[in-house]
Amino acid sequence: MRAAFIQQTGAPSVIQVGEIPTPVPGQGEVLVKVGASAVNPIDTYIRGGIIAMATQFPYIPGCDMAGTVTALGPDASRFKVGDRVWCSNQSLFGRRGTLAEFAAMDEKWLYPTPASQSDELAAAGALVGITAHLGLHLNAGLKADEVVFVNGGTGGVGSAVVQLAKAAGAKVIATVGSAAKQAICRNLGADLAIDYHSEDMDAQIQAFTKQHGGIHVWFETQREPTFDRTVGLMASRGRIILMAGRAARPQFPVGPFYVKDLRLCGFAMFNASPAEQRECATDLNSLFEQGKWMPQVGKTFPLSEAATAHAFQEQNTLEKQGTLSGKILVLP
Ligand SMILES: NC(=O)c1ccc[n+]([C@@H]2O[C@H](COP(=O)([O-])OP(=O)(O)OC[C@H]3O[C@@H](n4cnc5c(N)ncnc54)[C@H](OP(=O)(O)O)[C@@H]3O)[C@@H](O)[C@H]2O)c1
């Protein structure tokens, strides 16, 4: 099969596209003909060697994909040949990646794709949808009528947070980097979309949250959290969610934090159990069918341009170029 793979970590240019053996599904595994796969910031970190997950070569990057089941390994029983499925959490901890014509994975990571959802949309919503769901529900315990704040409301995770929080009945404040993205973010359901370049950003947040006592759930998607500012804007008993910034070592205002009865939750989606991720996936599928969850596709590349797709993700994740809105897809 054709696949994108690396023989060593490094810049996007280390990605090659060529023929490698099609995987044979093992015990409890399913072979899927990939219809679309998605690129995530973590792919940048792994390919670049920042996160040491690429340990066996050739290493195929890619956590997410959607496609059609073509073969079952021994004792795989959840799906049958011809079923449409999607997944996340591949290319991690020794699992194979998804930037290929075929991918074989344990059936515990696979979910049925709704009949009305394309492979492109299913792949685009995979990791980011599960992440937003875990953050808002398992970690923050979001309740209807609470106020959620998220940085980057048209980004991969941010656009999912906006939609899932709205679906749960919350009020949503999001920041974005341009007027065009403000419009997209409002369309996704944000009650207040603020350009993060504006000088009166916090005054706008305070005006919006005055009647609610502040922000109940701060979902931080940025790698440099600003705790003094965040704690000041939080409502009593609010929850601050951290999920980015491995190298960040920010100052922390202990006194203001505890006198507001705040809580701080960190999580990495890949630590969630298969059962926890399946619960998110089931809910995401249902929300898609109800028209409450629409994964955002920003740019699509053919498999032959996998290195360009990675470079584009890196420019937006590490260099913050702001040229992406939604997910990057790679089509085999
Ligand atoms: N812990 C986990 O399980 C987990 C899971 C998924 C992702 N992550 C991490 O979460 C982070 C975000 O991932 P992603 O997929 O959403 O990335 P992404 O699609 O690249 O989005 C990044 C967002 O950051 C926004 N942004 C840039 N500068 C900003 C600023 N100064 N203030 C506010 N927002 C700003 C961008 O907004 P504009 O485009 O409008 O400039 C964009 O929406 C990454 O570091 C990723 O590694 C962690």
Domains parsed from the chain with CATH numbers: 2-125+295-331 (3.90.180.10), 128-269 (3.40.50.720)
Tell me what the mean pLDDT of segment 6-23 comes to.
98
Among the listed residues 37, 53, 96, 108, the one whose alpha carbon sits nearest the alpha carbon of residue 276: 108
Helix, coil or strand: residue 105? strand
Among the listed residues 40, 41, 28, 30, the one whose alpha carbon sits nearest the alpha carbon of residue 67: 30
Query: How far is ligand 1, taken at its centre, from the CA of residue 89, in Å?
Result: 18
Query: How far is ligand 1, taken at its centre, from the CA of residue 316, in Å?
Result: 9
Tell me what the mean pLDDT of segment 51-70 comes to.
96
Helix axes 41-48, 306-317, angle to 10 degrees: 100
Query: How far is ligand 1, taken at its centre, from the CA of residue 155, in Å?
Result: 6
What is the number of the ligand 1 atom nearest to the C-alpha of 181?
Answer: 40
Q: Is the CB of 226 under 6 A from ligand 1?
A: no
Q: Is the CB of 223 under 6 A from ligand 1?
A: yes
Q: Whose CA is nearest to atom 13 of ligand 1?
A: 157
What is the number of the ligand 1 atom nearest to the C-alpha of 324?
Answer: 39
Q: Whose CA is nearest to atom 39 of ligand 1?
A: 322
- Report the C-alpha gap between 76 and 273 in whole angstroms: 19
Q: Is the CB of 180 under 6 A from ligand 1?
A: no
CB count within 10 Å of CB 319 equals 9
Helix, coil or strand: residue 249? coil
What is the number of the ligand 1 atom nearest to the C-alpha of 152?
Answer: 43
Contact 277, 130 (CB under 8 A): yes
Q: Is the CB of 139 under 6 A from ligand 1?
A: no
As given in the structure block, the two tokens for residue 139 are 């970690």
Q: Which tens digit of pLDDT belongs to each residue from 190-205?
A: 999 999 999 999 999 9
Q: Which tens digit of pLDDT belongs to each residue from 148-180?
A: 999 999 999 999 999 999 999 999 999 999 999
Q: Is the CB of 134 under 6 A from ligand 1?
A: no
What is the number of the ligand 1 atom nearest to the C-alpha of 154?
Answer: 43
- Report the C-alpha gap between 100 and 319 in whole angstroms: 27
Burial group, residue 260, by CB count within 10 angstroms (0-12, 13-18, 19+): middle
Q: Is the CB of 320 under 6 A from ligand 1?
A: yes
Question: What pLDDT was estimated at residue 45?
Answer: 96
Query: How far is ligand 1, taken at its centre, from the CA of residue 1, in Å?
Result: 33
Q: Is the CB of 296 under 6 A from ligand 1?
A: no
**End-to-end CA separation in angstroms for the chain:** 10
**From 137, 157, 163, 242, mutation site for ligand 1 pocket: most ligand atoms within 8 A of C-beta:** 157
Q: Whose CA is nearest to atom 12 of ligand 1?
A: 221
- Report the C-alpha gap between 235 and 211 in whole angstroms: 11
Query: How far is ligand 1, taken at its centre, from the CA of residue 30, in Å?
Result: 32
Q: Is the CB of 175 under 6 A from ligand 1?
A: yes
- Report the C-alpha gap between 126 and 118 in whole angstroms: 12
What is the number of the ligand 1 atom nearest to the C-alpha of 316?
Answer: 20
CA distances from 159 to 152, 187, 237, 326 (A): 8, 10, 25, 7
Share of the chain above pLDDT 70, in %: 100
What is the number of the ligand 1 atom nearest to the C-alpha of 323?
Answer: 39
Q: Which tens digit of pLDDT belongs to each residue from 75-96?
A: 999 999 999 999 999 999 999 9
Query: How far is ligand 1, taken at its centre, from the CA of residue 31, in Å?
Result: 31
Q: Could you tell me the pTM of the whole model?
A: 0.98
Strand-strand pairing, 234-242 and 215-220: parallel
Question: What pLDDT was estimated at residue 233?
Answer: 98
Tell me what the mean pLDDT of segment 245-249 comes to.
95
Q: Which tens digit of pLDDT belongs to each residue from 93-140?
A: 999 999 999 999 999 999 999 999 999 999 999 999 999 999 999 999
